[in-house]
Homo-oligomer: A and B are copies of this chain.
Amino acid sequence: MTFFEKLGNLIFSKKTYLCVGLDPVWEKIPEHLPRTQEGLLEFLLMIVGETKDYVAVFKPNFAYFEVLGASGVEVLKELIQKIPQGIPVIGDAKRGDVGHTAQMYARSVFETIGCDAVTVTPYQGEDALRPFFDYTDRGVFVLCLTSNPGAVDFQLPDLHLQVAKKVQEWNVSGNAGLVVGATRSDKIAAVRKISGQMPFLIPGVGSQRGELKNTLLFAEDGSKIPYLINASRSILYASSGEDFAQQAGNAAKELRDQINLCRSFL
């Protein structure tokens, strides 16, 4: 089974499209937790524990671990090992480099760190993405239209559509997906039209306040394509008190339900 077949089964059996991003920031982590490698891991595992029933996947963001140096990389690896079996992990790494270096990055994310899927950047073209696609049992989400203001600089008006078209052509193993931001839901229909059945990873509905209903309408497009709605900060930092994990669980449940409710009225 490909990563996306597994993901589709999981979404339909567990009835959730939610992806929770794990972006730990010292300044936002509850004060009662120690500022150590152990404190960080404890914070994340408590979040995982309280949200796991509501998520399809977790998505740790590499930047927030790398900034802590080698010990951050150790926490990331241990975190992934301890995420319950059956919940896939997307390594949000936004990697992208030429041929041989891309092989090293792919090996690093999939083998050394142990992720089931990855985010990558398309600027350098096919030979920069191919080593990721070559891991045919893993998922590869290519940046297409991002949720940040700077998406207008190069991605719009046309580049994101060129990327969708090319990735669709390159997707011979059925393991490619696209990152499409919910803050630009008016553009998602066009990307869906070009990209056929490719799954979307959709950030921007939480703190960035993307528009949920249209996002779902255009991402789904009447078919049973798996896709993921990501939220990070709105769940991780739902509370900064001792009840942070419980509040994160509540926020995750609420967003899962909101997505499902929205879907049922599309």
> Once the chains bind, are B126 and A150 in contact (CB under 8 Å)?
yes
Residues on the B chain within 8 Å of A108, using CB: 63, 66-67, 69
Q: Which residues, 83 to 133 on A, are CB-close (under 8 Å) to B?
A: 94-99, 101-102, 104-105, 107-108, 112-113, 121-129
Residues on the B chain within 8 Å of A96, using CB: 94, 96, 121, 123
Q: Which residue of B lies closest to A162 (CB)?
A: B154
Residues on the B chain within 8 Å of A68, using CB: 112
Residues on the B chain within 8 Å of A23, using CB: 101
Number of copies: 2
> Known: A66-B104, A66-B105. Is A123-B125 also a contact (CB below 8 A)?
no
> Once the chains bind, are B149 and A125 in contact (CB under 8 Å)?
yes
Any B CB within 8 A of the CB of A11: no
Query: A199 to B168, alpha carbons, bound, how many Å?
Result: 36
Q: How large is the interface on A (under 10, 10 to 19, 20 to 34, 35 or more residues)?
A: 35 or more
Query: A94 to B256, alpha carbons, bound, how many Å?
Result: 34
Residues on the B chain within 8 Å of A153, using CB: 122, 125-126, 166
Query: A127 to B208, alpha carbons, bound, how many Å?
Result: 14
Residues on the B chain within 8 Å of A99, using CB: 148
> Once the chains bind, are B123 and A154 in contact (CB under 8 Å)?
yes
Q: List 26 A-B contacts (CB under 8 A).
A: A23-B101, A61-B97, A63-B95, A66-B73, A66-B104, A67-B104, A67-B112, A69-B73, A69-B74, A70-B71, A70-B73, A70-B74, A96-B123, A98-B148, A98-B150, A99-B148, A121-B123, A122-B123, A123-B155, A124-B143, A124-B146, A124-B150, A125-B148, A126-B153, A128-B148, A159-B159
Q: Which residues of A are in contact with B by a Cβ distance under 8 Å?
A: 23, 61, 63-64, 66-71, 73-74, 77, 94-99, 101-102, 104-105, 107-108, 112-113, 121-129, 143, 146-155, 159, 162-163, 166
